[in-house]
Structure 1
Amino acid sequence: MKKAILAGIAALIVAAGAWYWLSPGMAMQGLREAALAGDKDELRERVDFPAIRESLKSQMRAMMVAEMAKEKDNPFAAMGMAFAGAIIDPMIDGVVSPDGIKVMVESGKMKDPDKSVADQSTREEAEWEIDRRGLDRFIARPKAKDGEKVPSLIFKRDGLGWDLVDIEVPTLAEKKPI
């Protein structure tokens, strides 16, 4: 009886370790497959689009405030920032879409809202590296050349699966703690 209990506990520990090691890669692979197949329903299951939009909008506003602080003596800079603020929401809404996720997963770069998805598709697919952050988070980053800034995908555990809940823009990735 004791051997059966110990064997069960050992099997549970092995299964938990395998889940911890393999599930982030499987989640990234599932996201990639759904994005490349254009399966919008599956993407809605795997991606928290409203949370990502809000996060990116706040990151962009913070970036604008930082830039405006640098140009505090220039009245035209403040006016330019006001105009830029008006275009943030539609720009982010265009980038954070199933098509935008497809471009990002395929190329490792943010979608240019002014270009079609076909214009941005690449022959060279991005390879993603996974950085685990405990039992409930991981970050996926495309492999980049030295000095190249790339977005980071932040996943959060949802039950035994994972959801994409945030994207760090390259210019703020070094400054924003996770």
Structure 2
Amino acid sequence: MNRKLLTGGLTALIAAFLIAYFASPVLAVRGLTEAATTGDETALRARVDFPAFRASLKEELNAELVAQMRADAGSDNPVLSGLGMLLAPSLVSGMVDAFVTPQAIATMVRSARAPDPMDRPGQIESPAPADEDKDTVSQSWAYRDLNTFAVTLTNNRHPDQQLALLMERRGLFGWKLAGIDLTVPSEDDAL
């Protein structure tokens, strides 16, 4: 009888651990979404790894910019295009460093709009959302691996407008926003 009780208790303990382990990113996403919706800067600062997020955004924007420049290179002056490719990363880096703030993160979460490095930091909308915007963004969640959880945000008014926020595990149950993926494949691409 004691053996059955011990086995049952151990099974319940393992099940509770696994549920908490795999459900913890959903709770972290809910906390991030709530902080973004209410404009709580302190809560956003606690839920975002800003250096990692900035590095990820720089990488994504630089890749997008290089791809655009390569597409435009055929019609333009190749010397000017090459110079642009050399200077673009430093320009993007400076803009991203100034751009990525708690307010910018809140705007991304609320709007599902990819950041535009050409926006000046003063042009970012205020963290207080309008009532009509509350239900315009839908979320889908998926693990990319055991330590990376992707939250794909889709603007319901513009279904082609998506971005994925990448949460990374910190310890057993902690998660922080640490990356962004601007090239979210659509369901049609996956087939």
Root-mean-square deviation over aligned CA pairs: 2.8
Q: Which position in structure 2 is the counterpart of 1:2?
A: 3
Shift of 1:17: 3.6
Residue 95 (structure 1) aligned with residue 104 (structure 2) = no
Shift of 1:20: 4.2
Distance 1:19 1:166, change over 3 A: same
- Highest RCO, 1 vs 2 (Cα 8 Å, sep ≥ 6): 2
Aligned residues of 1:150 and 1:169 also touching (Cα < 8 A): yes
Q: Deviations over 1:70-94 (max 9, x none)?
A: 4166333234445544431232124
Residue 110 (structure 1) aligned with residue 78 (structure 2) = no
Aligned residues of 1:94 and 1:100 also touching (Cα < 8 A): no
Q: Which position in structure 1 is the counterpart of 2:51?
A: 50
SS of residue paired to 1:167:
strand
Aligned residues of 1:103 and 1:110 also touching (Cα < 8 A): no
Mapped to 2, the partners of 1:74 and 1:134 lie a distance apart of: 41
- Report which stretch shifted further, 51-60 or 88-97: 88-97
Alignment of 1:24-173 (within 5 A): 24-70=25-71, 71=73, 74-82=78-86, 84-112=88-116, 113-114=119-120, 115-118=123-126, 121=129, 123-125=132-134, 126-144=137-155, 148-159=160-171, 160-170=173-183, 173=184
Aligned residues of 2:56 and 2:179 also touching (Cα < 8 A): yes
* Alignment: residue pair count: 172
Q: Deviations over 1:26-54 (max 9, x none)?
A: 11110112223333232222111111111
Mapped to 2, the partners of 1:153 and 1:121 lie a distance apart of: 19
Q: Deviations over 1:91-143 (max 9, x none)?
A: 21243210011111111113453433139955233121111234322100013
Mapped to 2, the partners of 1:139 and 1:85 lie a distance apart of: 25
Instruction: Determine which structure has the larger strand proportion and give its number.
Output: 2
Q: Deviations over 1:53-74 (max 9, x none)?
A: 1122122223333344441663
Give unmatched runs, 5+ long, in structure 2: 186-191
SS of residue paired to 2:168:
strand
Mapped to 1, the partners of 2:95 and 2:139 lie a distance apart of: 25
Aligned residues of 1:129 and 1:141 also touching (Cα < 8 A): yes
TM-score, normalised by the number of residues in structure 1: 0.79
Distance 1:46 1:80, change over 3 A: same
Mapped to 1, the partners of 2:45 and 2:38 lie a distance apart of: 13
